[in-house]
Amino acid sequence: MGEKIKVVVTGVSGRMGQMLVETIAASDRVVLSGALERSGHGWIGRDLGVAMGGAETGVIVSDTAPAVFAKADVVIDFTVPAATIAFAAAAAKAGVAHVIGTTGMTEEEIAQLEGPAQQTVIVRAGNMSLGVNLLVQVTKRVAAALDEDYDIEIVEAHHNRKVDAPSGTALMLGEAAAEGRGVALEDVSDRARDGITGARERGRIGFAAIRGGDIVGEHDVMFAALGERITLRHVASDRSVFARGALKAALWTQGKAPGAYDMLDVLGLAEQ
C-alpha cells in the first residue's frame, strides 16, 4: 500500500462535510489533513473530532485555505458558490486538485472556474453517485429515441434545508435530455409554473421541486405521451453515496492533467 492521499474537507460542519469526515476515516487510501469552515464559525480553532462530539483527531478546524491547502493533495468541497470560487483560486495556486459538489452556481460563477482548471484538476458534478451518473446516460439515450410527442418533466425532492432549486442533479438530467433531443436546455426549459400558464408547449423540458423533511434526494425523469408514460427514477436514501463518490473522484485526480472534469470521466462513463 502506497502513501495515503491527503484530503482537505471544506464546509466541514455541514451535512456533507461531516459525512465526508466519517467516510475518510473509514478509508485506508486517504487521510484527512485539514478541515475548513467559514470565518467566524464556532468550530474554528477547535479539534475537529471534539467539535463533532467524538474523540480528538489532531485536525484543527481552520478558516485559512492557503495554509491548509499547502499540506494537501486534494480538496473536497461541498459548500456554497461564493466559497467554492474562492477555494478554486486557492487550490489552483497551491497546486492541489479540487473536487466540487457545490450546486446552485450560475453560468457566470461556473465560468470563473475556467482559469483555475488551467492550473489544476477540477472535478465538478451536481451529483457524485454512480446511480445518478448512469441515469444521466440513460436519460440522454431515451430522449434521443423519443420525439416531442413525449413531454419531458423532471421532478426532484429534497430536505427542507436545501437552498437551491432546481437541484444540481435535476439540471444535469435536464441537460442530458436536451442533448439527447439535440436542443439547448436554456432554449426549452420551463422552470416555474403558476396561475394561468396556458397549455404545455410542445418540446419544452419542465422542472418541479419538492422540499420537505429529511428527504436525501429523489429524481424522476418523466416522458409522458398519449396513452403511456416512462419514468426513470433515482432515490438516494443515504448521503454516504455522495461522499463515497467524492472520495473516488479525489483518488482519480491524482496524476491527471489539469482540466475541468466531471463524474462521467471519473466513472469511465464519458462518451468518446
Ligand X SMILES: NC(=O)C1=CN([C@@H]2O[C@H](COP(=O)(O)OP(=O)(O)OC[C@H]3O[C@@H](n4cnc5c(N)ncnc54)[C@H](OP(=O)(O)O)[C@@H]3O)[C@@H](O)[C@H]2O)C=CC1
Find the catalytic residue in 6, 93, 140, 162: 162
Give the other-Cβ count within 10 Å of 68's Cβ: 24
Reduce the DSSP state of residue 98 to 3 states and report it. Answer: strand
Concerning whether 162 is annotated as a catalytic residue, the answer is yes
Rule CB under 6 A: is residue 18 a binding residue for ligand LZUJQKHR?
A: no
Q: Which of 168, 174, 206, 245 binds ligand LZUJQKHR (CB under 6 A)?
A: 168
The answer to whether 189 and 134 are in contact (CB under 8 A) is: no
**Contacts for 250-255 with beta carbons within 8 Å, 24 or more apart?**
250/5, 250/7, 250/30, 250/74, 250/76, 250/97, 250/99, 251/5, 251/29, 251/30, 252/123, 253/74, 253/97, 253/99, 253/121, 253/123, 254/5, 254/73, 254/74, 254/97
C-alpha closest to that of 76 among 208, 220, 253, 232: 253
Q: Which of 84, 169, 189, 253 binds ligand LZUJQKHR (CB under 6 A)?
A: 169
The nearest distance, CB 31 to ligand X, in angstroms, is 20
The nearest distance, CB 8 to ligand X, in angstroms, is 11
Concerning whether 93 is annotated as a catalytic residue, the answer is no
Find the catalytic residue in 98, 158, 219, 234: 158
C-alpha closest to that of 4 among 23, 29, 27: 29
In the DSSP assignment, the letter for residue 160 is: T
Q: Could you say which residues in the range 207-266 bind ligand LZUJQKHR, by CB under 6 A? A: 217
Nearer to ligand LZUJQKHR, 68 or 176 (CB): 176
Rule CB under 6 A: is residue 80 a binding residue for ligand X?
A: yes
Nearer to ligand LZUJQKHR, 59 or 122 (CB): 122
Rule CB under 6 A: is residue 206 a binding residue for ligand LZUJQKHR?
A: no
The nearest distance, CB 254 to ligand LZUJQKHR, in angstroms, is 24
125 annotated ligand-binding residue = yes
Query: Can you give the binding site for ligand X, defined by CB under 6 A?
Result: 10-11, 13-17, 36-38, 41, 78-80, 83, 101-104, 125-128, 168, 242
